[in-house]
Amino acid sequence: MAEIKESGGGKDKGKKVRSKKSSTSIDMTPMVDLAFLLLTFFMLATTFNKPQTMELTMPEKPKKEDNQPLVNEKKVLNLVLGKEDKVYWYVGITDPQIQVTNFSQEGVRKILLEQNQQIKDMVVLIKPSDGSKYKNLVDILDEMQISNVARFALVDITPEDVALISNL
Amino acid sequence: MSSPKRTKPSLDMTPMVDLAFLLVTFFMLTTKFAPEEPVVVDMPSSVSDIKLPDTDILTISIAREGTIYFNMDGKYTREALLGKIGEKYGLQFTEEEKQAFMLMSSMGVPVGNLKEFLSLPAEERKAIRQPGIPCDSLRNELADWVVLARVSNPKLRIALKGDREAAYPVVKQVLNTLKDNNISRFNMITNLEKES
């Protein structure tokens, strides 16, 4: 393998014993072995990928003197995140027609895209129930990004919503 | 010597070895070993591809069972933070305890047990099951940690690292704690989604 050799290396054929010239060659094989071992180790141990993040900006705490903006209830899409990866949704606030869907592509994404087209300036209210998981929250925020929903808010679930989903 | 010379097929491997050593050096210098975390957090995936910055990060981890852990980078800001926590709760920390806190990764013990926890040897600390940082309306220590951490390092970004299966009420507590302290902008750490 990798060796530094100065002498020719062939065996002496003559019978005369000459004064031995000790060659200055070092066997580098073990060192190279080690180098490759380390190389393999560090290559496998290195992770180049940095964690991904989602940026989330929550609204500031409303001050007393601030007027809360009023929203036409017809433009409100409510998404209630329930147990076992279920999403309950309805439009408007009075007389809600509640429907169930899930997190699949055919589920909540389709609804978001359809409603986003039908309703101008749609506002989505995300209401995670106590039975939902953190994953559900991240998934739904992700869906907002995928379906280009500009206005959405994470709000606390109301007792009315709890009652609505427990009836289903 | 008149017979056809048979040469041993030999190859000069010096350039390859040079390259190997170069790579070894590169990987040795660039590798940063991930600090050992007290809990495994299985993060949810998202399509977001914003990278988390390397420095000035405060991580709040929420484990599967709902225990909350706190982590911050920067040795010296950690020391300053521990001093401030000690002031607030009337605790005195020894040099060894400070040192232990500076070198630690995530931490999830109430302030009341912190001194005791820091005085343990590092191996024992790993073995202990940490109860999590209290974050309810009665005793919100997480709020103190976050507020004092931001005082120690104003450039700090808040990152939330939750387990997929963490229940929402705990997440809500953390979000409300952040909101109550006027932190409205934060990052949620996720894995990159494979599909679509």
CA atoms within 13 A of residue A80's CA, in its CB half-sphere: 27
Q: Order across the sheet with A76-81: list the strands.
A: A99-102, A86-91, A76-81, A123-128, A152-154
Regarding an ipTM greater than 0.95, the answer is no
Pick the residue of B178, B188, B189, B195 with the most A CBs within 10 A to test the interface with A by mutation. B188
CB contact under 8 A, B23 and A39: yes
Tokens of A13: 């054929």
CA distance A107 to B43: 23
Binning pLDDT at 50, 70 and 90, where does residue A65 land? Answer: low
Minimum CA–CA partner of B158 in chain A: A55
The pLDDT value recorded for residue A112 is: 79
User: If we measure between CA atoms, which residue out of A5, A143, A55, A58 comes closest to residue B183?
Assistant: A58
Binning pLDDT at 50, 70 and 90, where does residue A10 land? Answer: very low
Least CB-CB distance to B17: which of A32, A49, A142? Answer: A32
CB contact under 8 A, B168 and A60: no
CA distance B118 to B109: 10
The pLDDT value recorded for residue A3 is: 53
The pLDDT value recorded for residue B196 is: 44
CA distance A143 to A145: 5
CA distance B117 to B125: 7
Cβ partners under 8 Å of residue B130, min gap 6: B38, B39, B67, B69, B107, B108, B109, B117
What is the CATH number assigned to the segment(s) A73-167?
3.30.420.270
> DSSP for A35-74?
HHHHHHHHHHH---PPPEEEEEEPPPPPPTTPPPPP--GG
Residue that wins the pLDDT comparison between B100 and A66: B100
CA distance B1 to B29: 53
3-state secondary structure A81-103: ECCCCEEEEEECCCCCCCEEEEC
Interface of A with B in 42-71 (CB under 8 A): 42-43, 45-47, 49-61
A&B contacts, CB < 8 Å = 146
B48 vs A contacts (CB less than 8 Å)? 52-55, 142, 145
CB contact under 8 A, B46 and A130: no
The pLDDT value recorded for residue A59 is: 72
Q: How far is B175 from chain A (nearest CA, A)?
A: 9
pLDDT per residue, tens digit, chain B (196 aa), is 556 677 777 777 788 888 888 988 888 887 776 666 777 777 777 777 777 777 788 888 888 888 888 888 877 888 888 888 888 888 788 888 888 888 777 888 887 787 788 888 877 777 777 888 887 777 788 888 888 888 888 888 888 888 888 888 888 888 888 888 777 788 888 877 665 4
CB B94 within 8 A of CB B72: no
Cα angle value A6/A8/A12 (rounded, 5°):
135
B168 vs A contacts (CB less than 8 Å)? 81, 128-134, 136-137
CB A68 within 8 A of CB A62: yes
The pLDDT value recorded for residue A16 is: 63
| Strand, helix or coil for residue B124 | helix
Least CB-CB distance to A42: which of B16, B27, B165? Answer: B27
CA distance A69 to B69: 37
B62 vs A contacts (CB less than 8 Å)? 134
Least CB-CB distance to B187: which of A54, A58, A61? Answer: A54
CB contact under 8 A, A52 and B178: no
Least CB-CB distance to B168: which of A28, A134, A146? Answer: A134
B17-49 core/surface letters (b: 16 or more CB in 10 A; e: else): beebbebbeebeeeeeeeeeebbebebbbbebe
The pLDDT value recorded for residue B195 is: 52
Helix axes B168-180, B141-152, angle to 10 degrees: 50
Q: How far is A85 from chain B (nearest CA, A)?
A: 11
CB B68 within 8 A of CB B61: yes
Interface of A with B in 76-95 (CB under 8 A): 81
CB B83 within 8 A of CB B123: no
Q: How far is A38 from chain B (nearest CA, A)?
A: 6
User: If we measure between CA atoms, which residue out of A113, A125, A28 comes closest to residue A76?
Assistant: A125
- The rounded percent of chain A whose pLDDT value lies above 90 is 0
Minimum CA–CA partner of A85 in chain B: B165
